[in-house]
Amino acid sequence: MSRRQRKQFGFEPLEDRRVMAANLISGDIPTGSGLEDVVIQYEQYDSSTALGQLQILSNELYWIQLAQPLETPTYETNALPTDPLFSQQWHLINTGQQVGNPDYQPIYGVPGEDLNVAEAWLKGYTGNGVVVAVIDSGVQIDHPDLINNIHPTLAFDGTVANGVTPDPTPIPATVIQDPVTGQYIEIFNGNSHGTNVAGIIAAEANNGIGGSGISPEALIVPMKLITGGQEFPQRYAQAFRYAINDIDITSNSWGPALERGIVGPDLASYLAIRDSIFFGRDGLGQIHVFSSGNSAGPSFNIGFDGIGPYSSAGYNGWVNTRYTIGVTGVDHDGFYNNVDGT
């Protein structure tokens, strides 16, 4: 490669190096020769060529591997959940178990097509110390598989108080459960969607009830914003500014069906998300996870031709911003799943 080409492609020539290689030899070696173990060979590679750089890199990686052998992990033998429905949770550990209703059509999973959480669990990563806000329709905070994983002091109600004016109100710990009556706030009961999401994330494990969450020791912060009625942008901006130093991750399993073109957050919500990335978690930054679609079925986008019969995450401003993570899913067989309408 010429000097002009190296400059054009941004290649920086390295210095020539002598690389030492050691090979075992066979046969008789004269006593006292100092060569009883190995024969030392010197090879010189030209670092100004692509081949030379690859040879140098290959040798460096080889010696690094020898110097830093892989550690053998130590696993707990009882690290997998023992909940009664855990064996049916193919999305956590897919063993090829039956996933469909046998009364209609027997369907089986494909072993290994799962979230691969077993490896993380076996290494002790169970969500302990992680706080996840479920921005959704509400969470049944007295659900027996969630009650021990509901954050004791954080909650947020962004529902409309009078049908006109949005009235997002942080809910203090004293009214999440009334200390006198023991009654739980009904605004967090919502519909089942938010509770389902919270269970997928952090249902308690090894309690003899139901199944297990992905991170069964994480804490859930219920944040009720989705009512199924008219939405107000202000509530989203205030939600994304709520407790940004205490909440590590927000789960956003909601979004528009893109039938009218491009949609996304208003400026206030966008700035709230951006600021939480830079300043949340005491400067470490919050993580915002969004579903890549939410229409749950065919949804032709009349604003754009040729994007297909489902919502396109490329036109969803909540998902394709650099400040959020858009996720989709696969089915029990590892193939694309459009249940989210994507």
More confident: 280 or 46: 280
pLDDT of residue 274 exceeding 90, the answer is: yes
Q: CB of 224 within 8 A of CB of 187?
A: yes
Reported confidence tier of residue 256, pLDDT bands at 50, 70, 90: low
Reported confidence tier of residue 319, pLDDT bands at 50, 70, 90: confident
Work out the percent of the chain whose per-residue pLDDT is above 70: 54
Reported confidence tier of residue 164, pLDDT bands at 50, 70, 90: very low
Residues 6+ apart with CB under 8 A from 194: 134, 136, 137, 138, 139, 222, 224, 226
Residue 210, domain CATH: 3.40.50.200
pLDDT of residue 119 exceeding 80, the answer is: yes
Q: Is residue 92 part of a domain?
A: no
Residues 6+ apart with CB under 8 A from 159: 167, 187, 224, 225, 227, 235
pLDDT of residue 218 exceeding 90, the answer is: yes
Residues 146 and 252 in one domain: yes
Reported confidence tier of residue 295, pLDDT bands at 50, 70, 90: low
Q: Which of 247, 239, 199 is nearest to 221 (CA)?
A: 247
Distance CA 257, CA 296 (A): 9
The residue-averaged pLDDT of 113-127 equals 89
pLDDT at 214: 96
- Give the total number of structural domains in the chain: 2
Domain limits at 261? 125-337
Reported confidence tier of residue 24, pLDDT bands at 50, 70, 90: very low
pLDDT at 331: 83
pLDDT of residue 264 exceeding 60, the answer is: yes
pLDDT at 273: 93
Pick from 145-159, 183-197, 307-321 the range whose average pLDDT is largest: 145-159
| Residue 180 one-letter amino acid | V
Mark which of 43, 67, 91 sits at the end of a domain.
67
Residues 282 and 142 in one domain: yes
- Note if the pTM is more than 0.85: no
Residues 61 and 134 in one domain: no
